[in-house]
Amino acid sequence: MNREEILEAVKEAMPEKRFIHTLGVEKTALELADHYKIDRNKVSLAALLHDYAKYMDKEAMMAVMVEQKMDPKLFTYNQELWHAPVGAFFAKTKFDVDDEDVLQAISCHTTGNAAMTTLDKILYLADYTEPNRSFPGVYKARRLSFDSLDKAMLFALANTITFLITKRQPIFPDTFDAYNYFARLQIEGEV
> Residue 141 in contact with residue 128, Cβ under 8 Å?
yes
Mean pLDDT, rounded, for 119-128: 99
Tens digits of residue pLDDT in 61-89: 999 999 999 999 999 999 999 999 999 99
Is pLDDT above 80 for 191?
Answer: no
Tell me, yes or no, whether 47 lies in a domain.
Answer: yes
Q: Return the pLDDT at 63.
A: 97
Mean pLDDT, rounded, for 97-117: 98
Q: How confident is the model at residue 190 (pLDDT cuts 50, 70, 90)?
A: confident
Mean pLDDT, rounded, for 151-178: 97
CATH number, position 50: 1.10.3210.10
Tell me, yes or no, whether 97 lies in a domain.
Answer: yes
Tens digits of residue pLDDT in 142-157: 999 999 999 999 999 9
How deeply is 41 buried, as exposed, middle or buried, from its count of CB atoms within 10 A (0-12, 13-18, 19+)? exposed
Specify the number of domains making up the chain: 1
Tell me, yes or no, whether 39 lies in a domain.
Answer: yes
Tell me, yes or no, whether 176 lies in a domain.
Answer: no
Tell me, yes or no, whether 10 lies in a domain.
Answer: yes
Q: How confident is the model at residue 114 (pLDDT cuts 50, 70, 90)?
A: very high
Tens digits of residue pLDDT in 132-143: 999 999 999 999
Mean pLDDT score of the chain: 97
Is pLDDT above 80 for 6?
Answer: yes
Q: Return the pLDDT at 39.
A: 98
Tell me, yes or no, whether 77 lies in a domain.
Answer: yes
> Residue 99 in contact with residue 42, Cβ under 8 Å?
yes
Tell me, yes or no, whether 183 lies in a domain.
Answer: no
Domain that holds residue 102: 3-135
In terms of C-beta distances under 8 Å and separation of at least 24 residues, what long-range contacts does 18-27 make, across chains too?
Answer: 18/51, 18/54, 18/55, 20/132, 21/51, 21/130, 21/132, 22/47, 22/48, 22/50, 22/51, 24/130, 24/131, 24/132, 24/133, 25/50, 25/51, 25/123, 25/126, 25/127, 25/130, 26/126, 27/130, 27/131
Is pLDDT above 90 for 16?
Answer: yes
> Residue 34 in contact with residue 69, Cβ under 8 Å?
no
Residues present in the chain in total: 191
Q: Return the pLDDT at 186.
A: 93
CA distances from 102 to 34, 35, 169, 190 (A): 17, 18, 29, 26
Q: Return the pLDDT at 1.
A: 84
Distance CA(74)–CA(80), nearest Å, equals 10
SS3 (DSSP) at 189: coil
Rounded percentage of the chain residues whose pLDDT exceeds 90:
97
